[in-house]
Structure 1
């Protein structure tokens, strides 16, 4: 059972009162800035002086910049619920956000550091996240959730490997696939918990007769096959074993998704977003599996998984978490629904028109617009007090 977060007095800025606030804000703004910047780098209009070439910069910053911020915000909000201890807030949280920002500036070459120093600064963020989460879980004796350190540690290791590959000239292909694999497994693991749970709650409120199938052995089997397929993909993306296992994993994840009754929740856009984003995962796995046989483009698989599954899922989770933890109704509204559809459209355009400059520009524009809308709508919630919170006695009106 989750513990209630302690409600002790906090008088600092609202932005640093809970972990999701600064990191979701940074993630949204960075997502809206990084892709246009990448497009400018791709066309030669902008040159960064960091340690990575333009393609590696783009991949690294999506995997370890944007996604790392979302994961940090999620974990620093979830862990206090698991442990019943005070969340990281105030100065420690601000310093963590500053460390993340320092990593982005260092990787972009803005700080003028040598590649080793860049690697140290950038790698320090995920290592700090893992250390702080581990300390909190152990201090709260919440041993059941100690296993979350495994994917976080692997995630941090893939970032270090990415830097080492670039530094040594060995390349970053293996480490980028490994990072994708860790993040996708987290999407499957966390998505498999929250999506059916949120759907069940909504359907119960609607007095529906049928509910999502509870987590059972089938979920474990589907996760195990997906993990095997991803490991094979990391080791050898073009092998027959990789293709067969990824296709099997795609089929199992599609069946898994069908058990969560997403179609019955079509009247709740905020809930439907989670189902649609998760649907991009089996499609992306299938395309990646076909790519192992030369029947599809590996780039298409990357973007279905990266934009559709990871981008869509993280955006939907940030929306819902921000609403719930800032006291807003769990209603997406037109603006946030449009933001999600724009990001989903970016995935489709990036795949269907991958070989055209026009398609690349349109996909970048859709992604940027989606996260810009998210930042404009949700940003003010993140920097202000929880809705409905009373002012302290004597506070200025």
Structure 2
């Protein structure tokens, strides 16, 4: 398990000057920063200045796309490129190549905001190249080092990009029903990635942090869960909604069972852990909501999207981008009041956003309060971590690209 994400726990060190080389050292640095910033900006635009969203990808379509592919998937790419370096011993993207990948992401965000068809087409090209390049770089590292255990991860990332392409094509074709189907497919592809990551790293993190804690890794059930999570979007695309609902029911139930078996009471005093436990549990509950919706339950389509998206992904993300950033930045693995406040604000944003879906007179107020809590949470994250993400590790340990000889030894 240690090969998945090696975390050191050095003593705190004074800040060094910002450095481009350090900033482009590993994927999490620019992409965590970009994703967190865009989480803040995109929600502020959607709730408080929707009149600025005048491009071909406008309104609800822009909001849904930017939250899933502009924010959540961006964080996932940053994590996978970073974890991939540990899985394989080969850094998939760094330096100018990582900078170019980040520029593609920036150009896509700008293009989707501009009110010209040409800008939309350019944004689509940049976006799809972003996901394709990231998946190809990760696949190359996995292939060159014969890391068979993670051979499917680049395919999951590529599937997320394909769902993005289908969603954007349906926007241009003005097909609302297809739009909602492809959005849910993208959401479920991202769910498969999130479940895979969480099921691997949460037990590892917990056993490292809590002395004497022994919890199961659930390898076999995790494989069944991943199969169910992947079957759901395939069944949805084929029009087999009851089968997709059954697959989501299985994946969600396994996630909740995993959390209970991981002894949640043992981590109740460790914020870096309980936020991840909560996020994984919310993911499982969100998948059950999606199953109920696909089975014909009396739920609006917005319910599964927000239950999985804001209650699941977002709670999991705010925990992951603090925990993994601290480890890879060479900082002590402990929270401060700023981080805990960010956790609580994201949780409040999720609760208020789900409350805003209820047909009550307070729905509008709940929506605005949720947006304010969300913006404040990611502002706190940026205030705390942006100065660290642009500087070298606290212990000054370099992360050079490995030599070919090292790659061959790893492969052998």
CA RMSD of aligned residues (A): 2.4
Q: Distance in 1 between matches of 2:99 and 2:155?
A: 25
Name the counterpart of 1:222: 225
Deviations 1:347-388 (A, max 9, x none): 111112324111110111111111111111011110112113
Quick one: which of 345, 351, 365 aligns to 1:348? 351
Alignment pair present for 1:122 and 2:123:
no
Given that 2:196 and 2:222 are in contact with CA atoms closer than 8 Å, whether structure 1 keeps it comes out as no
Give matches, 1:1-397, under 5 Å. Answer: 2=3, 12-42=20-50, 46-86=51-91, 88-109=93-114, 113-171=118-176, 172-203=179-210, 206-208=211-213, 211-233=214-236, 236=239, 239-291=241-293, 292-354=295-357, 355=359, 356-389=363-396
Gaps spanning 5+ residues in structure 1: where?
6-10, 392-397
Q: Distance in 2 between matches of 1:217 and 1:145?
A: 15
Q: Distance in 2 between matches of 1:4 and 1:285?
A: 26
Given that 1:244 and 1:289 are in contact with CA atoms closer than 8 Å, whether structure 2 keeps it comes out as yes
Q: Distance in 2 between matches of 1:236 and 1:336?
A: 43
Gaps spanning 5+ residues in structure 2: where?
7-18, 399-412
Deviations 1:231-270 (A, max 9, x none): 4455559x55544553444333211221111221111110
Aligned length: 378
Tell me which of the two structures has the higher relative contact order, counting C-alpha pairs closer than 8 angstroms and 6 or more residues apart.
2
Q: CA deviation at 1:119?
A: 1.8
Q: CA deviation at 1:16?
A: 1.3
Q: CA deviation at 1:139?
A: 2.5
Given that 2:181 and 2:236 are in contact with CA atoms closer than 8 Å, whether structure 1 keeps it comes out as no
Name the counterpart of 1:395: none
Structure 1 70/136 Cα, relative in aligned 2: closer, same or farther at 3 Å?
Answer: same
Deviations 1:61-89 (A, max 9, x none): 11111123212211221122122224532
Q: Distance in 2 between matches of 1:342 and 1:3?
A: 29
Q: Distance in 1 between matches of 2:212 and 2:322?
A: 25
| TM-score, length of structure 1 as denominator length | 0.88
